[in-house]
Structure 1
Amino acid sequence: MPTIVVDVMPKAELLDPQGKAVAGALDRLGITDFASVRIGKRFELTVEGEVGDDTLATARRIADEILSNSVIEDVVGIEVVE
């Protein structure tokens, strides 16, 4: 069955305390290759049957209205994984 993957991230202009904590932990471990860390959410919507334009449009609506908080988050990706 195909799966629609939706990725949601905090808006770039907002503070990401979880990401900051992970970045601090990496620094304490001596890992300095990464300038920053941001933490988001991944949703997997399993589809019965074919994924057509209507199904993708519904997934986009769900992502915008239910899976993300548009005040503080952006939907950064929607893709179909077979």
Structure 2
Amino acid sequence: MIRERLAALVAESSDGAISAHEALTATVPLTALGLTSIGQLRLADAIETEFGVTVDLTGDGLDLLDDLDRLAGHLAGR
């Protein structure tokens, strides 16, 4: 459930450049699919709003935003 919601947020944050299906089935980082730095900021904001979790945009935080599975695991552990 978390992965699917995150995939939808990726699609919204990328203004449709990445579909939810593409995010779910990606074998490369989301930035390789076209998630821009602006898209990452939008995604971080959306995650904070949706899940009530602050996303650290330094260090590992940006790495998390580039990998849907890692991000879902991180959120599931909270």
Q: TM-score range by the shorter chain?
A: 0.3 to 0.5
Counting strand residues as a fraction of each chain, which structure ranks higher?
A: 1
Return the TM-score normalized by structure 1.
0.31
Q: Which has the larger radius of gyration?
A: 1
Return the TM-score normalized by structure 2.
0.33
Counting helix residues as a fraction of each chain, which structure ranks higher?
A: 2
Higher RCO (CA 8 Å, separation ≥ 6 residues): 1
